[in-house]
Structure 1
Amino acid sequence: MVLVLRPDAYVAETPNGAFVLTNSGSYTFTGHTIFALLTTIKPYINGEYTLDQLAARINKRAREVAVKLLTGMLDLDIVRDIERLKIQSSQPEVRFIEYFQDDAARTYSEYCSMSALIIGRSPLAQAVEAACRLSGLRTRSVDQTEDREAAPMDSAAMDDVIFVVGGEPDYHSKVEEELSCDHDGVLVHATTIGEAWFCCIGKADEAVWASVTQRLAARRAPAQAPRASPEGRPDDHAVRVLAAQLVHNAFRLITTPSAARGGVNRVDQATLASEPISYLRHPYTLPAQPRTATQFAHRIATLAASPELDEEAFSRHAVSCTGEWTGVFGLPTEREFAQTPLCVCQIEVSATTGGSTSHVTGAGLDFAAARYQASLRAFASYGSTIFDPRQMLDINEQPLVQRAEGLDLITEDLQSGRLAGFVWAYNLATSRPMLLDAVRAFPNTDEGSHLGSAAAAYSWKAAISAALISQCHRMTLLEQTGSAPELDITNIPPNSQLEHYRVILSKIGPVVVRDITGSLEVPTVICLLKGVHLGSGSGLSYLDAVTAAMEEALLSYQASANQQPEYAPPTAPTAPQASRSRLPFPVDRPRTVDSVIQTLHRSGHTPLVVPLDHDPEVAAIMPYLVRVVLSDGR
C-alpha cells in the first residue's frame, strides 16, 4: 500500500502552521515548522512510497514529526493508503472520482456498465441523451410525455438512471409514483414551469418531485397552478449546458454518494442562473394512518411532558419552512408598511386544497418581535387548514380512507360536507379523548378568520393558554351588555412594554381603558383612543389584557393613519355603555390555565384541544400547534 495525497487538497501557510482545504472540509495543523515540512514531503506523497519508505527518506530530526503528521493526515482522509495499481488513470471521470474515494477506476467501470432511460422528445431530452453517452452510460429513449395517462415502459425498472424531461408536472409525478416500488436507482426530472426549468434528482421512492409540485402549487391560486411551458425557447447552448448539469449531478450521486445528494434546483432560462430550492416533504407523500384513542392519549401526554422550544434552535429549523417557490411560508417581509410606532411584518401562507394563499401579519416594538408574532401566526394559520384524510376516522372509529389514491377529491368532499370525517380531540376538563367533527378542527373559512382559536407557541401549555384566551376573548365580547367601568392606568404595575404603549397612545390623544370582564372571569378590556374603540384584549392577568388591547389599538391607529388596511386588526364591536365609575388597576393574582378550563366546563363550554399535526414535517419543527374548540359547538 502506498501513500497518495488527495488530488483536491490545497495547502497554504498560516502564521501558526498549515491550512489544508479539500472537498470534504478544511483542516488546520499547528507548528512553526509544519508548513515547511509538508512542502518538503508533498512531492513524495505521490503513490510511489509506503509510509515506511517515505519516513526513511526524511532526516532523523524531522522523521518523528513527519510520521506523526502523515498519520494524522491519513486519519483525516487527506492522505490515502491505496494499492499501487489503482492510481494510474488519465480519464477525467476517474480523476474526478478520486477527489472523493480511492477506488475510482472500479467505480467508474461500474458506472459505465449502467443504462439510462430518457423519457421525452424535447431538445433538452436529446441533449441529455447525448450527455449520458459522453459520460459513459448506455442509453435508450422513449417518448411518452405527451400522453399523461401513459405509464412508463414496463422495463423502466431495469434501468439504473431514468430522466423524465419535459411534459406536464403531473406526468412526472405519475412516473415517480409508478416507479417508487420497483426502481431503486436514480430518477431525474426536468421541465419548464413558468419562465424557468425545475430540475430534481433523487431516488424514486423518496417522492421528491411529488412533494415539490405539491408545495409549489400550494403557493399559488388554483388558476395559477404550475403548468409546463412550451419547450424550445432557450437556445441550443443553454439546453446543452443544462443537460450537462443534469447528467453530472446524476454521475455524482451514483459514483460519490457520500459526497453528493439529491435536490431541486430552479434554473432561469435566460441567464442559466441556478438556485437550490428547499422544501419539506408533503404529507401526501408520507405514510399516514389514524391513531387509536390510546395512541392519541399517549401523544397528548408526550406533548405535555416535552420541554419548551429553544428560541434560537427553533429559528434555525423554521427557515426550512420558508421559500419563495416551495416554502410552506413565504419569506417574512415588511413590504411598504409604515414601521412606526410599531414594526409590522407579513408572511404568505400556503394554500390548501380548494383554497388560495393567505397572509398573516405580526407587530411589535422592534423587527424581531414583529417577525416572531407573524411566524407563530403563520404556523397557526397553516396548521388550521392543512389536513390529511388518512388520519381521520368515521363515526365508528374506523379509518375513513382505506387507500392513498384520490386524496385531493376526498379533501374536497370533506370541505363541502359531502363526506363526514372525525379526528381525536382531548377533553381538557376530564383528560379523556373524544371524537370531533373534522370540520370543527379544520374549518374551511375565509382568509385569516380560521385563526381565532388556533395557536402556536414554544410550549404545550403556552399554546393551550393562547388558544383558550382567544376563545374566552371572543365569548366575552359577544356577551357584553352592561356598562363598563374605566380602569385607572396612571399607576400601572411595572411593565416596560405596556408603559411604552401607554406613552405613545397618550401622545396621540386621550386614552381610556374599560373593563368588560364577563361571566368567564377572564380579564378582558377595551381600549379607546380619542373616544373611539380601537382595541380589545384578554389575558390571564389584567396586565396581559391591557397590553394586548393597547397594542391592538395602536396598530389600528397606525393602519388607519397610513391608509394600510392590510394589517389592521378585525373591526372592533360596538363599545359598551360607559360607566361613570373609575376603578383602581386590579392587582389580583393572575388566573391559571386550569382555573379557566374549569370555569368553561362549569359554564357548559368544555374546552377540547386538537393537535394540528397533519403535516408531520411542519409538526416536527413546531410541535406545539393546537386548536381549542368548545363542546357546545362554539
Structure 2
Amino acid sequence: MKLRLVDHTYLAPIRNGVHLVTPAGPVTLTGASIARWVEALAPHLDGRSSLDEITAGLPPAHADLARSILTQLRDAGVVREIAAEPAPSCGDDEQDGGFAAEVAFIESHRDGARAAFARFRDLSVAVANDGLAADPLPEAIAASLRASGAAQVRVCDADGLGEEDLWSLDVLLLTSALDRAAERARFADRAARDGLAVGHVLRDGTDVWYVPVRVAKDDALVTVRPESLRARLRRAPRAPEAITGVHVEVAAAQVGRAVFRWATGTADPRHTSRPARLGPDLITSRHHCLPHPYELPAAAPAPDAVLTRVDHLRSRPAEDAQEFSDAAVRAADELFGPFRFLPDDSAAQSPLHVSEAEVSVLAPRPGASVRAVGFAYADTRIEAARRALARYAALTVDPRRLVDSGGAALAAADAEPAALYAALHTALYAAGAAGAPGGFAIAYDLAAGAPVRLAAARAFPRLAGQRAAAGEGFGATWDEAVARGLCTHWTRDANLIDDPAGRLVTADPAGLDAVGRRCFTLLAELGELPEVHDHGGRFGVTSLSFHRGGTEVARAAGTASSAWTRGLLETLFSVQQRIHAGRPRPSAAAHPARATTMRLDPGHVIDPDGVAAALAATGRRAVVLPLDHDPAVAAIAPLSLRVAIAGPHDLCQA
C-alpha cells in the first residue's frame, strides 16, 4: 500500500511538537524533533511510495523512527493508505468521460474513486422550486451538478412532482423561502420509506442558505430541517430579495459541490450537518442549528421511563469539562443556538472573569441572561454554558411530555407545532391564570424513589410567570446537579430557615477553598469585606446573606464552605462593578455587632438523599425533573434538572 498525505493538510511547528490542521480536525503530535521529521517526510507522501520505500536507505535507528512517525500520522488520519497502483484518474479525460479532475479529487480523499464518481453520475436528481417566482437558482444549481458529472438532473416545480416522480428520484433539492419553508409530508414520507435524500436551498432576504442533504436514517439529533432553522432563528425570517448574477453563480457552485462531496463520500465531516450561509458579500459562514424539539418524535410520558432516565443519570461518570465544552459549541450559535455568549467587553473583567450568555426560548415568553464569575476564564465560560443550557431547558416544554389528571398525554405524538404551542399555552399560562394546574410532568420523588406527577406550573415555574424561580440544577454529576438545584430553595423559601434576619458571622479563611480564600484576601485588601448573616438553614443546609452598606449583595446556600465561597464571589463581583463604574463606596455600619466565627469544612458535601429524607419527615417532598424536553440539548447537557420542593397538593401518584 502506498502512503498519501490527506489533501488540505497544514502543519505548524509548536513547542515540543507539531500541530496539523486537516479537513477532519486538528491533530497534535509531540516530540522534540517530530516537526522536522514530518516536514522532511511530507514530500514523499504523494501516493507513489510505500512505507518500506520511504524508509529504504535510512540508517536503522532513523528508519525505525520514521516508521513510528508515519504510523502515528496514519492512525491520526493525516496519512491514508491507498492501493499500490497508479492514480487512475489524473489526466485521463478519455477514460473518465471528461471528468478526470473530479475523479482525481475523489481519489485524493478516498479509495475507489471511479466507483464513487459513477454513483454520483448515476444519481437521479431533481432541483424543485417550491414557491419562488422567477428564481434563477434552480437552473444554476442544476448546471453546476451537470458540470461536475451528474447525468440525470432536472429542474421542476415542487407542485408538479407526482408520486411516480418521487419514487424515481435519489436526491431532491428544494429551493424555497426561509420564511415559509416546510418539508412537505409526502416528501418526508417518501424519504422515510425509501431513503430519498433531501436537501434545501433557502432564501432569506439577500442570503442564500444551504441545508445539507440528509436521508431519514441519519441521526435525527445531528441533522436539521428547514423548519428548525426558521423556529430557532433569533430574528424574524425575511422575504427573498433579488440577488446578483455573481451571487447566484457562487451559491449554485457551492451547492453543487456540496452535493458532489456528499454523494462521493468526500465531504468534510465537520460540515455534513451544518447549514451554510452565503451572503451578498460572497462570504460563507457555517452554523450549528440543533433540531427543534417539535420536529422530533416524542414518546408519551411513562413512569417507567422516568425511573430509567434517573437510573441512567445517577450512574453516569463525572462529566469531563473539555468534552462538555466541545459539545456545547453546537448550542452556542449566534443565530440559532439555545444560547449565545455575550461579548466579553460587556462587563469589567478584572480581577474576576465574567462570562454572560443570552438564552433563547421556544415558548412565547422573553428569554433571559445568565452570568458566571470566577478567576479562571475557561472554567467561567463552562459554568456560563451550563447555566445557560439549564435555564433554556427550564424554559422549554413539550406538551407531548405532559399528562392530564387522568395520565393521558396533553398532545398527540403527531401533533403539528402550532397545535403544540396551543397545548403549551393551555397547560401553563391559561391554567395558571385560572388557579388550577392544566397539566402534570412525571418527575422523581427523591425520598420515595418513585415517580410522581408534579403540577406543570411547579415543574416549569418560569414559564408559568415566576421571574425568580428556585430549583435549576446543573453539574458534572447527578449529586452535584441535584444538590445545586435543591440548595437554591434555601435562598428563597422562608420555611427552610430559622432566622430571617440572621446572626452576624465571620469565618477563618483557612477553612475556605482556594477560590474563597482568594476572594477573602482581595476583599480584605480593598477594605470591602461584607457583613455576613447566617439565617440558620435547616436540614443541614447553610443559608447566608452578604451585605455592604446595609444592602444585600448576595445570598448563597449549601455547605458552609461553599456558601461562603459563592457569596464572596458575588460580593467581589459587585465591588468590581462598582469600582469600574466609578460609583462611591457605601458607608459601613457605625457600630458593627460582634460576629460569631463559623466552623468551615471544605471537604463537606451536601447529601441530596439525606436532605430529601429530612424534608419528607415534615410532609414536604424533594422532587427531581430531568429537563429533557429538547432531546438535542439534553444530549449535550443531560444533567440539567429542575428540583422542586412540593407539598401534597402539588403531587399525585404517577
Give the alignment's TM-score, normalised by structure 1: 0.79
Rounded Cα–Cα distance in structure 1 between residues aligned with 2:46 and 2:598:
79
- Map of 1:141 onto structure 2: 155
> Which residue of structure 2 aligns with residue 403 of structure 1?
413
1:114 — aligned with what?
Answer: 123
- The 5-angstrom pairing of residues 297-316 of structure 1 reads 297-316=307-326
2:253 paired with 1:254: no
* Gap change, CA 1:394 and 1:10, over 3 Å in 2: closer
Q: Match for residue 459 of structure 2? A: 441
| AA partner of residue 248 (structure 1) | R
Q: For the residues of structure 1 that align with 2:138 and 2:311, how far apart are their CA atoms?
A: 53
Q: 1:264 to 1:79 in 2, by over 3 A?
A: closer
**AA in 2 matched with 1:617:** A
Letter aligned with residue 192 of structure 1: R
Residue in structure 2 matched with residue 199 of structure 1 by the alignment:
210
Structure possessing the higher radius of gyration over alpha carbons: 1
C-alpha distance in structure 2 between counterparts of 1:74 and 1:504, whole Å: 51
Counterpart Cα distance in 1 of 2:543 and 2:46: 76
What whole-Å deviation, never above 9, does each CA across 1:244-300 have from its counterpart, x for those lacking one?
Answer: 221121122213368777333433433211122223333333332034322322221
State the match for 1:586 in structure 2: 599
Q: Deviations over 1:528-574 (max 9, x none)?
A: 21333322221122x22232233333333444555699xxxxxxxxx
Counterpart residue number, 2:543: 524
Q: CA deviation at 1:199?
A: 0.8
> Structure 2: how far apart are the matches of 1:340 and 1:265?
37
Partner of 1:511: 530
Secondary structure, counterpart of 2:328 in structure 1: helix
Aligned twin of 1:131: 144
Q: CA deviation at 1:383?
A: 1.2
CA distance in 1, matches of 2:112, 2:171: 22
Question: d(CA) in 2 for partners of 1:539 and 1:339?
Answer: 27
The answer (yes or no) to whether the contact 2:511–2:599 under 8 Å persists in 1 is: no
Separation (CA, whole Å) in 2 of partners of 1:143 and 1:163? 11
Q: Distance in 2 between matches of 1:516 and 1:40?
A: 73
Between stretches 244-253 and 200-209, larger displacement belongs to 200-209
The separation in 2 between residues aligned to 1:33 and 1:599, in whole angstroms, is: 65
CA distance in 2, matches of 1:286, 1:330: 23
Shift of 1:512: 1.8
Structure 1 gaps of 5+ residues are 145-149, 566-577
The one-letter code sitting in structure 2 at the alignment partner of 1:239 is V
Residue 493 of structure 1 corresponds to which residue in structure 2? 511
Quote the offset at 1:302 in angstroms. Answer: 2.2
Task: Find the counterpart in structure 2 of residue 413 from structure 1.
Answer: 423
Distance 2:464 2:175 in 1: 38
Q: State, as a whole percentage, how many aligned pairs show the same letter.
A: 23
Q: Name the CA distance, whole Å, in 1 between partners of 2:28 and 2:613.
A: 61
Say which SS state the counterpart of residue 300 (structure 1) adopts: helix
Contact 2:363 2:395 in 1 (8 A): no
Structure 2 match to 1:80: 83
**Partner secondary structure for residue 484 of structure 2:** helix
Look up the match of 1:467. Answer: 485
Contact map agreement 1:157 1:179 (CA 8 A) in 2: yes
Q: After the TM superposition, which of the residue ranges 96-105 and 622-631 deviates more from structure 2?
A: 96-105
State the match for 1:569 in structure 2. none
C-alpha separation in 1, matches of 2:152 and 2:448: 66
Q: Which amino acid aligns with 2:307?
A: A
Per the alignment, residue 571 of structure 1 pairs with none
Deviations for 1:206-259, whole angstroms, at most 9, x for unmatched residues? Answer: 578854642553352xxx3223422x22x2122112112211211222133687
Change (3 A) 1:10 1:446: closer
1:563-574 correspondence runs (5 A): none
Q: Structure 2 matches for 1:344-355, cutoff 5 A? A: 344-355=354-365
Cα distance in 2 for partners of 1:394, 1:153 equals 42
Structure 1 pair 584/590, CA: closer, same or farther in 2 (3 Å)? farther
Please state how far the C-alpha of 1:143 moved relative to its aligned partner. Answer: 3.1
SS of 2:625's equivalent in the other structure is strand
Q: Does 1:431 align with 2:428?
A: no
Do the aligned residues in 2 keep the contact of 1:132 with 1:138 (CA within 8 Å)? no
TM-score for the superposition, normalised by structure 2: 0.76
Count of residues paired in the alignment: 590
RMSD: 4.6
Does the 8 A contact of 1:359 with 1:448 survive in 2?
A: no
1:9 offset after TM fit, Å?
Answer: 7.4
- Mapping for residues 57-456 of structure 1, pairs under 5 Å: 78-81=81-84, 89-90=92-93, 91=99, 92-101=101-110, 103-120=112-129, 121-135=134-148, 136-144=150-158, 152-154=161-163, 155-174=165-184, 177-182=188-193, 184-205=195-216, 206=218, 211=225, 213-215=227-229, 217-220=231-234, 224-230=235-241, 232-233=242-243, 235-256=244-265, 262-331=272-341, 333-417=343-427, 420-445=438-463, 449=467, 452-456=470-474
Q: Matched residues in 1 for 2:444 and 2:246: separation?
A: 61
- Comparing 602-611 and 202-211, the one that deviates more: 202-211
Structure-2 change in CA distance of 1:550 and 1:385 (3 Å): same
Q: Which runs of 5+ in 2 are unaligned?
A: 14-19, 94-98, 432-437, 584-590
Change (3 A) 1:285 1:39: closer
Query: Deviation digits for residues 86-143 of structure 1, max 9, x if unmatched?
Result: 8883133333333345554454444333332122240122211222333333333223
Q: CA deviation at 1:459?
A: 0.4
Bigger CA drift: 85-94 or 405-414?
A: 85-94
Which deviates more, 159-168 or 438-447?
438-447
CA distance in 1, matches of 2:333, 2:46: 45
C-alpha separation in 2, matches of 1:501 and 1:21:
40
CA distance, structure 1, for counterparts of residue 503 and residue 22 of structure 2: 72
